[in-house]
Amino acid sequence: MQSAAAIAAAFVSGLIKPSGLWAAAWNKPAFEARALADVLKGIGATDATPSSDITIKAPDLAENGARVQIEVTSRIPGTRSMAIIAEKNPFPLIASFEFSNGAEAFISTYIKMGESANVRAVVNAEGKIYTTAKEVRVTIGGCGA
Amino acid sequence: MAEAMKIRAHMQGDIAEIKVLILHPMETGQRKDAQGEPIPIHFIKQVTATLNGKVVLDAQWSQGIAKNPFLGFKIKGAKAGDKVSVTWSDNKGEANSIETTVTASGSV
Mean of the per-residue pLDDT values of chain B: 94
Residue pair A107/B85 in contact by the 8 Å Cβ criterion: no
Structural domain boundaries of chain B?
A: 5-29+40-101
Q: Average of pLDDT values for B56-71?
A: 98
Strand partners, A73: A55, A106
Cβ contacts of B59 on chain A, cutoff 8 Å: 95-98
Nearest CB among A95, A99, A111 relative to B60 is that of: A95
User: From the centroid of its chain, how far is CA B25?
Assistant: 13
pLDDT averaged over consecutive 10-residue blocks of chain A (145 residues)?
49 42 75 97 96 98 96 98 98 97 98 97 97 95 66
Q: Which segment of A86-90, A119-123, B1-5, B66-70 scores lowest on mean pLDDT?
A: B1-5
- C-alpha dihedral sign at A138, B88, A8, A2: negative
Instruction: Please state, in angstroms and rounded to a whole number, the distance separating the CA atoms of residues A102 and A15.
Output: 20
Strand partners, A138: A62
Partner B contacted by A112 (CB < 8 A): yes
Question: Which structural domains are found in chain A, ordered by start?
Answer: 27-140 (2.60.40.2470)
Amino acid A17: pLDDT: 42
Partner A contacted by B35 (CB < 8 A): no
Rounded to whole angstroms, what are the CA distances from B70 to A24, A137, B49? 22, 21, 14
Residue pair B30/A143 in contact by the 8 Å Cβ criterion: yes
Amino acid A24: pLDDT: 63
Residue pair A118/A39 in contact by the 8 Å Cβ criterion: no
Interface mutation target, options B60, B85, B87, chain A, most CBs of A under 10 Å: B60
pLDDT in tens, A5-23: 554 444 444 444 444 344 3
Partner A contacted by B96 (CB < 8 A): no
- C-alpha dihedral sign at B58, B63, B64, B69: positive
Pick the more confident residue, A2 or B84.
B84
Return the percentage of chain B with pLDDT > 90, whole number. 92
Q: Average of pLDDT values for B44-62?
A: 97
Report ipTM (2 d.p.).
0.94
| Residue B83: band (very low, low, confident or very high) from pLDDT cuts 50, 70, 90 | very high
Instruction: Please state, in angstroms and rounded to a whole number, the distance separating the CA atoms of residues A137 and A121.
Output: 17
Instruction: Tell which residue, A104, A107, A110, A97, has the closest CA to residue A136.
Output: A110
Cβ contacts of A112 on chain B, cutoff 8 Å: 26, 28, 63-66
Instruction: Please state, in angstroms and rounded to a whole number, the distance separating the CA atoms of residues A38 and A87.
Output: 11
Identify the CATH homologous superfamily for domain B5-29+40-101. Immunoglobulins (2.60.40.10)
Amino acid A44: pLDDT: 95
Residue of B nearest to A86 (CA): B64
Nearest CB among A1, A89, A107 relative to B73 is that of: A107
Instruction: Please state, in angstroms and rounded to a whole number, the distance separating the CA atoms of residues A131 and A117.
Output: 16
Instruction: Tell which residue, A77, A83, A60, has the closest CA to residue A131.
Output: A83
Strand partners, A107: A72
Amino acid A142: pLDDT: 72
Count of C-beta atoms within a 10 Å radius of residue A3: 8
How many residues make up chain B in this entry? 108
Residue A40's SS3 state is helix
Residue pair A107/A121 in contact by the 8 Å Cβ criterion: no
